[in-house]
Amino acid sequence: MITLSVFDLSLAALLVLILAGLSWHMRLGLERSLLIATLRMVVQLSLIGLVLKTVFATTGLLWVSLMAMVMLLAAGYEVMARQQRRLKGWWGYGLGTGAMFISSFAVTVLALFTMIGNQPWYEPQYAIPLLGMMLGNTMSGIALALDRLTQTAWQQRALIEQRLMLGQTRTEAIDEIRREAMRSGMMHIINAMAAAGIVSLPGMMTGQILAGAPPMEAVKYQILIMFLIAAGTGFGVTAALWLASRRLFDERHRLRLDVLSAPRP
Amino acid sequence: MVALERPSVSDSLLRVSQLLTHQRGPFDLSIDTGECVSLRGPSGSGKSLLLRAIADLDPHQGEVWLDGVACEQIPAPQWRRQVALLPVESQWWLDEVGAHFPDENCPWLAPLGFSEAALGWQVSRLSSGEKQRLALARALMNRPRVLLLDEPTASLDETSATALETVVAEYRHENNAAALWVSHSATQAARVATRHYQLTPQGVQEGEA
């Protein structure tokens, strides 16, 4: 494997700097957020490199679980932060986090035990990247789906209540909206699977090939990951939407939009 | 636990007692079987909120009984089938009118001025008056015991308004149903209702049309 020198990275960074300069020159107003994001990316990835180096060296279950927990909580925060109208109180954070816990964690552990079958099963070199890919994808799916659900429920309040007035249950009254939200949560992974290999070479597979793995081995891993991501996202989105749409109504089948907070400015 | 005994006024079909909703009330009223009662009051006085609370669409305090059975003793969807609220503006969630009806056998289309073909119409092409009349036909399909009508003729011309008034009256007589009719017109209140309620800051008061 060819290692990259600081000079190689600096050369690539120069491209981003030129882009920022172009943005400043053309008054696009993008340069600030572009540079901040670039800086964040470099710092965050360097730090995680150091952390992974340490965690890989220890191979203790405790450290791996701790790392996994931090990743889960961060993903939960991201899901919450991406909601225009989030559920008030503990629910806003707990819902997405809980849904990711039962989907991403369960699927990752299952894969580690049965499909990868490494010794020990929690070996960080496999467990952490696998969980990271699962969380990253379920996170986007759940965030999109929840945002769609709460936004649509807010906009279509009169329509949902009309259905309740005609004697529909809370499940019937929100059914179409929940299906729409499910679709938007799953769209990403379905598109990714459909485009894989033709339009795009998935990042993990590309990485393995760059690192010198035989293409067929990389492909097999990528297929496994795609299966896991699809299942994890699907289960996670389903759970999150089920809980959230329950939360939008009370036990008397009344639409309770007061459980949602006001949109952020 | 709230007392759930049968109220003392035995023949009232709908009885509202000490109802508080959205910082308004307490409201008390009762409607007998087959009766139509009007409800008037300045805009913003909470007429629509009162109807929503009776249909159990908003959290509220106090009691509502239908035929001596308290609201919370019946599952909410079932309650709303029996105590039907017709909002000022009806909503339609599917493309075709007929898809909102449980079956194609709707006896109220003709009296409301529609042919059978109306069920095949596109909702997007309905006028507001057509929507209002079709919404009544749709609500009646559940065979409600009580109709809560929120300005049901607001966007209707005189002919259609008369047709709607007739349909409501006939439905009441045939099914022993009651109606609470919110109207802004004293003439209409006097025409359709036998008793008249006025919504005031002090609550619901019975009086002239």
Contact A164 B139 (CB under 8 A): no
CA distance B84 to chain A (A): 7
Q: What pLDDT, on a 0 to 100 scale, did the predictor assign at position B181? A: 97
Residues 6+ apart with CB under 8 A from B192: B36, B38, B165, B168, B169, B179, B181, B183
Each residue's pLDDT tens digit, B140-167: 999 999 999 999 999 899 999 999 999 9
Are A139 and A78 contacting, i.e. CB atoms less than 8 angstroms apart?
yes
Contact of B119 with chain A, judged by CB distance below 8 Å, is answered with no
- Find the closest chain B residue to A169 by CA distance: B77
Q: What pLDDT, on a 0 to 100 scale, did the predictor assign at position A138? A: 93
Q: What pLDDT, on a 0 to 100 scale, did the predictor assign at position B43? A: 83
How many residue contacts between A and B have a Cβ separation below 8 Å?
54
- Find the closest chain B residue to A250 by CA distance: B59
Is pLDDT above 80 for A129? yes
Strand duo B146-150 + B178-182: pairing: parallel
CA distance B85 to chain A (A): 6
CA distance B176 to chain A (A): 20
- Find the closest chain A residue to B74 by CA distance: A252
Mutation target among B57, B89, B134 for the A interface, most CBs of A within 10 A: B57
Contact A161 B81 (CB under 8 A): no
Question: What distance, in Å, lies between the first and last C-alpha atoms of chain A?
Answer: 48
What is the strand order of the sheet B203-207 is part of? B83-86, B146-150, B178-182, B36-40, B195-200, B203-207
DSSP annotation string for A63-88: HHHHHHHHHHHHHHHHHHHT-SSPBS
- Find the closest chain A residue to B86 by CA distance: A165
CA distance B4 to B18: 14
- Find the closest chain B residue to A168 by CA distance: B77
Each residue's pLDDT tens digit, A223-239: 999 999 999 999 999 99
Q: How far is CA A97 from CA A73, A75, A179, B32, B88, in A?
A: 7, 7, 21, 53, 41
Contact A165 B58 (CB under 8 A): no
Each residue's pLDDT tens digit, A153-190: 999 999 999 999 999 999 999 999 999 999 999 999 99
pLDDT average, residue stretch A106-112: 92
Q: How far is CA B50 from CA A139, A141, A146, B57, B204, in A?
A: 42, 41, 32, 10, 10
CA distance B196 to chain A (A): 25
CA distance B132 to B122: 15
Q: What pLDDT, on a 0 to 100 scale, did the predictor assign at position B9? A: 47
Q: What pLDDT, on a 0 to 100 scale, did the predictor assign at position B7? A: 45
CATH architecture of B12-207: 3-Layer(aba) Sandwich (3.40)
Q: What pLDDT, on a 0 to 100 scale, did the predictor assign at position B1? A: 45
CA distance A88 to A85: 9
Contact of A258 with chain B, judged by CB distance below 8 Å, is answered with no
Element containing residue A141 per DSSP (H, E): helix A124-155
Q: What pLDDT, on a 0 to 100 scale, did the predictor assign at position A265? A: 65
Kindly list the averaged pLDDT for each block of 10 residues, start to end, along chain B of length 209: 48 89 88 94 90 96 94 95 96 96 93 94 95 97 96 93 96 95 94 93 83
Are B151 and B182 contacting, i.e. CB atoms less than 8 angstroms apart?
yes
- pTM confidence score: 0.86
CA distance A117 to B4: 62
Q: Is the dihedral of CA B135, A169, B72, B101 positive or negative?
A: positive
Chain B residues near residue A166 by CB distance under 8 angstroms? 80-81, 84, 138-139, 142
Mutation target among B60, B74, B79, B80 for the A interface, most CBs of A within 10 A: B80
Contact of B93 with chain A, judged by CB distance below 8 Å, is answered with yes
Residue A60 pLDDT level (bands cut at 50, 70, 90) = confident
